[in-house]
Each structure stands twice: as structure tokens, then as C-alpha cells.
Amino acid sequence: MAREGKANAVLGSSTLAFTVCFTIWMMFGVIGIPIKASLNLNETEFGLLTAMPVLTGSLIRVPLGIWTDRFGGRIVFFLLMLFTVIPIYLISYATAYWHFLVLGLFVGLAGGSFSVGTPYVARWFKKDRQGLAMGIFGAGNSGAAVNKFIAPALIAAAGWTLVPKVYAVMMAAAALIFWVFSATDPAHNVKSNVSFMTQLSMLKDPKVWRYCQYYSVVFGGYVGLSLWMTKYYVTEYGFGMKEAALLAACFSLPGGVLRAFGGWLSDKYGAYKVTWWVMWVCWVAFFLLSYPQTDFTIQTVRGPQSFHISLTPLLFTILLFVVGIAMAVGKASVFKFISDDYSSNIGAVSGIVGLAGGLGGFVLPILFGAIVDITGVRSSCFMLLYGTVCVSLVWMHFQFRREGMMAAQAALPA
């Protein structure tokens, strides 16, 4: 097979495998709702339940990225998928809260597949096409929406315990398909004389920490909202689970599929411009989504006048859809930064940045639940995200302004 054909086969099989991994990684966002009811969990406990898979899927990203650099993406991806099959299946037999938490840690390893597939796919393409290739692979994030289509149907048919059984079969089948259609190129591996600590030395670079902050917003926020929105529609607007999952998919689906579009935009206009506008779109949308349902009365010349302010389900969904598009583009643009700046060490850096984004996705559902338990305001989740976007915008403005001034100064004649 010609190299271009191999590259396309690698991209296609990796994207399919990652989509399945992400579908299963987001599983508790739907099956957690009946589990919450049966175990009488509060909002914080529900947030922890949905977040447990995200924790291990985040922590494993750095070593997985490094192992991908050293041993190749094909074998690491395949073994990772096989390792999760049994824990996924065992969830259907869990009965206590701690059972779900422990099994969730093992199932969460599937989320680390992103740090395997990103460098694996990128190295099969030339630099001017890496943004698009990584964007197409990253469209596997749409697995968050796939979960919202599949899981409610399975729950309606035979209860939530059917979901882990079906997902275990899906994971095993996807692993075999990936192995058959993927390929290996030893030239893509980092030379054996590059040590583990040398690869981790990227943590000393302040730019890596900056990209971690951006990714914790666009990816961490995406994961947190994907896990939280089905229940939000149920509790805030009174929808049934099927309808709530479908509406929540209006955020998850564009947030995954359009990542390829974000990769193309980043290749064409540059990572900085794209990321800057992504943050501004999220800033405006989160400001509007943050406003809770409000009733207030003012005194007028004709007496008291009462008002009610709230987002209708339609307007709320439209705003979420816009946020999903922005986050999809932003996830791709952040990794364009990485491919531009660290082409020889993509695995290690993508693992570090992916870890930061994943930890954001772990912490956010817990914070969402805790803030609701404390304040009773459901829209407080968007208030929190609004604050994180403000931090990113301020950081981007001052850091890139400083770098631009330094570059201009360096270009002046001595």
C-alpha cells in the first residue's frame, strides 16, 4: 500500500477507535442518572461518579503519549483498548457506590487514547496537513453524542445494566478493526537514547503551561458539560431522559464532529487567531447562559411591576450549540500550537496538555454538583466556566502581546 493510502487507513481506523473510546468514556453521563436515583446520590456524589473515568483517562495521558513516541501508536492503542473490555462489562454487575467508582477508574483508561492517537496520526502527514488530520481524529469526541443516542435507547429497552455489556462488545470489536486497518512505521518512534526525563522536560517550558490552560477550557469544559447537560435538561426543564439526551447531543455532536473544521481553520489562519476568537465566542455565550431564572418586582408610577427572565429550552440549546462549535474549533487550534512548536516531541507535549484538559473535565462535574448543592442555582456551572474563559483571555492578551513586542524588538537593527 502506498504511503498516502496507509496514512488514510491509519486516520480512518484511529478515528473510529477513538470515537468508540470516547463514547464509553462518557458512559456515566447517561447511565449515571438511573444509578443516582437508585442509590439516592446528591449532586456532588453524582458529579464524582461521572468524573471518575475522566480522572484516570487524564492521568494516564502523559505516559501514554511518551510510550507512543517510544514504541509506536499501533501497539499502544490496541493494548489500551483490550485492557478496558472486562472492566466495562463488570459495571453491569456493580451494586454499591464504591463499585462504580473503582470500575470507573479502570474504564477511564479509554480516555487516554487521545494522547496515543494524536501523535500516531500526526506523524503520517506533512506539516501543512497535520492540523486537519489531528482535527479529523479529534472528531472522535463526537462519541459523547453517540453515547447520548445509544445509551437512552438501551436503557429504555432493558435497563441501564445492558449498556456496559453492549459497550464492552463495541470496544473489543473496535480494537480488532483498528489492528487490521492500522499500520506501523518505526521511523516515527523517538530514538531509544531519548530518556523519559528528557521527554518530561517539556514541563519546564511556560508555553506548555499556557496551552494547558487553553485546553482545560475548550476540552475540559466540553467533557464537563457533556457529562452534565443530560441531567441539566431533566432537572431544569423537566424533559424525559430520551429528550434530554437528544437535546444535550446538540452540544456534544458539533463539539466533536467540527474539530476537523477547526483543524482546517488553524492550518489556514493560524492557531493564535482561531483560539482568540474561540475564547471570545465562549465568553459571550457563557455570560448569557449564566443568568438564572429570575423573578423580580420594581416600583413604577403605576404601581408594582413584575418581570420574569429565563432562557427558553430553544434559546438555551442554540447557545449550547454555538459553544459546542467554538469548543470543537478551539480543541483543534490548541493542538495546532503543539504541532507547530513541538513537532519532534508531539507525544509527550500532547500528553501533558491532554492531561490538563482531562483534569479539567474531572474537576468540573464535581464542582458543578458542589456549587449546586451549596447555592441551589443550576446555572452556576456556566458562571464557573465564564470565569475560566476570562482567565484565558487575559493570559492570551498579555502573553502574546509581550512575545510580539520582543519579536519586533529583536527585528530592529542593532
Task: Give the pLDDT band (50/70/90) at residue 395.
Answer: confident
Please name the residues in contact with 21: beta carbons below 8 A apart, sequence gap of 6 or more: 81, 110, 111, 113, 140, 143, 171, 174
Burial class (CB in 10 A: 0-12, 13-18, 19+), 102: middle
Q: How confident is the model at residue 167 (pLDDT cuts 50, 70, 90)?
A: very high
283 by Cβ neighbours in 10 Å (0-12 / 13-18 / 19+) ranks as middle
Q: Where are the alpha helices (DSSP H) in 108-182?
A: 113-122, 127-138, 143-158, 162-181
- Rounded-to-integer distance, Cα 300 and Cα 90, Å: 63
pLDDT at 211 over 70: yes
Q: Average pLDDT of 18-30?
A: 91
Length in residues, the chain: 414
What is the per-residue pLDDT for 85? 95
Q: In angstroms, rounded to a whole number, what is the distance separating the alpha carbons of residues 21 and 30? A: 16
Backbone phi, psi, residue 341, to 5°: -95, -25
Model confidence over 376-386: pLDDT tens digits? Answer: 888 899 999 99
Most confident stretch, 81-95, 200-214, 321-335, 343-357: 81-95
At residue 408 the predicted structure's pLDDT band, cuts being 50, 70 and 90, is very low
- Write down the mean pLDDT value for the chain: 84
Q: Is the pLDDT of residue 199 over 60?
A: no
Per-residue confidence (pLDDT) for residue 176, from 0 to 100: 95
Domains parsed from the chain with CATH numbers: 3-182+200-295+306-409 (1.20.1250.20)
pLDDT band at 193 (very low <50, low <70, confident <90, very high): low
Q: What does the DSSP assignment read for 320-332?
A: HHHHHHHHHHHHH
Average pLDDT over residues 64-70: 80
Please classify residue 180 by burial: count the beta carbons closer than 10 Å to its beta carbon, then call 0-12 exposed, 13-18 middle and 19+ buried: exposed
CA–CA gap between residue 78 and residue 178 (Å, rounded): 7
Joined together, the cell numbers standing for residue 49 give 461518579
Phi and psi angles of residue 238, each rounded to the nearest 5 degrees, phi first: 80, 20
Tell me the average pLDDT across 81-99: 93
Q: Which residue has the higher pLDDT, 58 or 79?
A: 79
Find all residues with CB under 8 Å of 167, minimum gap 6, and list them.
23, 24, 27, 88
Between 347 and 140, the more confident residue is 140
pLDDT higher than threshold 80 for residue 373: yes
Q: For residue 261, name the pLDDT band (cuts at 50, 70, 90).
A: confident
What number of helices (H) and strands (E) belong to the chain? Answer: 19, 2
pTM of the model: 0.78
pLDDT beyond 50 at 335: yes
